[in-house]
Amino acid sequence: MRARGIAVPYVVWMAVFVVAPLILVVIYAFTSRDGSFTLANFGSMYQYVAVFGRSFLMAFVATAICFLIGYPLAYYLSRESALVRKVSMMLIMLPMWMNFLLRTYAWMAILEDTGLINQLLSFLGLPAFHMINTPGAVILGMVYNFLPFMVLPVFSVIDRIDSKVIEAAQDLGASSAVVFRRVIFPLSLPGVLSGITMVFIPSVSTFALSRLLGGGKTMLLGDLIEMQFLGSAYNPHLGSAIALAMMVIVLVCMAVMNRFGEGEEEVSVL
């Protein structure tokens, strides 16, 4: 009974700040302005198909870049000494101690036409590039802010792989490439899938990055939902329908990735 009593504050918190808002989103998504049941809100989403496609495409690109950078980095750190790991992890986590918006404003100063990068190019006699207010700048912001969410879970899984398993594969004549392909990578898939989920979900729903680094020219799902609740096109019913549809799509993607991961783990065990 005492253990249950300790859990009461958490249950109340979840009920008030997680379950209740989700219920309100569902109610708004399936009702009209007069409170009657309707599916028209979902039918109105067809006009924003381009926003859905752009959001998921940019989130996919950002997630792929984070994987291509984060996995080798995590693998490299797992093979280093304890001192190198501690210093590297501190450097990876250090930017996250700063406010998200402050980091984004810093990138605005770096990427703008008169920013640090173009000043350096000008000093070297090279032509300047227009980087701010472009989709590339938004993807760069996603990669910078969410890369630690890829590195940390992958590193934690690779670091826990029993060295005896790797030694056994080497004793059987497996080369380093074969050991990585047949042993290390399959065993690290849970961390990879966790990292993909932790990067993809905030990337597909972000709105601050697209507004600050994209200059409002690259509308994503987060911007669209905010516009329905706080912008001039006030329509919380449509905004709730879009948010609900996005949640369903994300849950389906997560289920597919988890199913794929379970299959890979079974193959690696066999």
Give 45-97 pLDDT, tens digit per residue.
Answer: 999 999 999 999 999 999 999 999 999 999 999 989 889 999 999 999 888 88
Handedness of CA 21, 26, 31, 32 (dihedral sign): positive
Categorize the per-residue pLDDT at 3 as very low, low, confident or very high, splitting at 50, 70 and 90.
Answer: low
pLDDT in tens, 206-236: 888 998 999 888 889 989 998 898 877 789 9
Ordered by where they begin, the domains of the chain are 48-236+252-269 (1.10.3720.10)
Categorize the per-residue pLDDT at 252 as very low, low, confident or very high, splitting at 50, 70 and 90.
Answer: confident
* pLDDT score, position 262: 59
pLDDT in tens, 97-113: 888 989 999 999 999 99
Q: Is the pLDDT of residue 256 over 90?
A: no
* pLDDT score, position 58: 96
Contacts of 118 (CB under 8 A, 6+ apart): 112, 128, 129, 131
* pLDDT score, position 106: 92
For residues 179-192, average pLDDT: 92
Average pLDDT, the chain: 88
Q: Is the pLDDT of residue 7 over 90?
A: no
Categorize the per-residue pLDDT at 10 as very low, low, confident or very high, splitting at 50, 70 and 90.
Answer: confident
